[in-house]
A and B are shown apart, each in its own frame.
Chain A
Amino acid sequence: MTHASRHWRNQRATSIALLPLGLWFLISLLGKPSLDHGSVADWFAQPLQALLAALFGAALLWHSMQGVQVVLEDYVGGWLRRFSIAVARLLHAAAGLALAAALARLVFDGAA
């Protein structure tokens, strides 16, 4: 399988994963009677909810990177193309690390 067709297939895979995960997150979020710090911390302190949030975040960031890359490849030319894709990759990786650290802290602080 070539690099491009792998990219195409992976983009479909993350979009299918995001259907249930995105709906879970949006419905959960919108349905909360309160979004103060205590309610949000309690929400993600539950291991199953934190796991779902981790899966959602991973699928979201991966799918986002795939989409942003395609848009940059289409509309940005020259050296700026590679540079902007590298910046987007860095941003997505940083967001992934921050998300993992945040969820780990919410789960383990909540359990303590």
Chain B
Amino acid sequence: MPQTADRPLSPHLQVYRPMYTMVLSILHRVSGLCLSATGLVFVAWLASAALGPDAYACVAGFLSGMPMRIALALALAAFWYHLFAGLRHLAWDAGYGFEKKTARRSGAVVVLLAAAAFAATLLLSPAGRFLAGLP
């Protein structure tokens, strides 16, 4: 798009000191997009269940293959990260947690909670263990 000469550009990212909170911020978007795609998988899965056993077997077979198992495990991680990071965003929207120190600490708490919930659901639930290739 043509940019008029006197219009200010937003500052380039390189002028900021790199911080892990920046990575967390973009991860919220990445995990959200990943979950949007997973939502379409959910609809396709449910539609195949409504169509009957043959259609369901076809979709379930596709989802049980190694590439999709890895993708679904990533989606599980994205779910937990997006949930906890979303709570952090809601707290900000309500006006809490803006102090630099608090914001950094809440970012670390989000990562720890998401990692714990991801590990627990992957290792302890029947479907999670299937994704992980565990008996």
A71 with B33, Cβ < 8 A, contacts A16-B90, A61-B39, A95-B39 known: yes
Q: Which of A23, A32, A67, A99 contacts B47 (CB 8 A)?
A: A99
B126 within 8 A of A: yes
Interface residues of B in 72-99 (CB under 8 A from A): 76, 79, 83, 86-87, 89-90, 93
In the complex, per-residue mask of B16-60: 1 if CB is within 8 Å of any chain A CB, else 0: 000000000000010011011001101110110111110011001
Interface residues of A in 55-86 (CB under 8 A from B): 57, 60-61, 64, 67-68, 71, 77-78
Q: Which of A32, A37, A78 has the most CB of B within 10 A?
A: A37
Cβ-defined contact, A64 with B47, below 8 A: no
| B side interface size, CB within 8 A | 34
A98 with B127, Cβ < 8 A, contacts A12-B93, A67-B32, A78-B1 known: no
Which residues of chain B come closer than 8 Å to A12, judged between CB atoms?
90, 93
B106 within 8 A of A: no
Which residues of chain A come closer than 8 Å to B39, judged between CB atoms?
60-61, 64, 95
Cβ-defined contact, B50 with A106, below 8 A: yes
| A side interface size, CB within 8 A | 39
A33 with B50, Cβ < 8 A, contacts A26-B121, A40-B56, A60-B39 known: no
Can you pick out 23 interface pairs between chain A and chain B where the beta carbons lie within 8 Å of each other?
A15-B86, A16-B90, A23-B83, A26-B79, A30-B125, A33-B126, A34-B126, A35-B60, A36-B60, A37-B56, A40-B49, A40-B56, A44-B46, A57-B43, A61-B39, A64-B32, A67-B36, A71-B29, A95-B40, A95-B43, A102-B46, A105-B50, A106-B49
User: Which A residues fall within an 8 A CB radius of B?
Assistant: 12, 15-16, 19, 22-23, 26, 29-37, 40-41, 44, 53, 57, 60-61, 64, 67-68, 71, 77-78, 91, 95, 98-99, 101-103, 105-106, 109
Known: A95-B43, A99-B43. 18 other contacts (CB 8 A): A15-B86, A15-B90, A30-B125, A30-B126, A36-B60, A37-B49, A37-B60, A44-B46, A64-B35, A67-B29, A71-B29, A77-B1, A99-B47, A101-B47, A101-B50, A102-B51, A103-B46, A109-B50
User: Which B residues fall within an 8 A CB radius of A?
Assistant: 1, 29, 32-33, 35-36, 39-40, 42-44, 46-47, 49-53, 56-57, 60, 76, 79, 83, 86-87, 89-90, 93, 121, 125-128
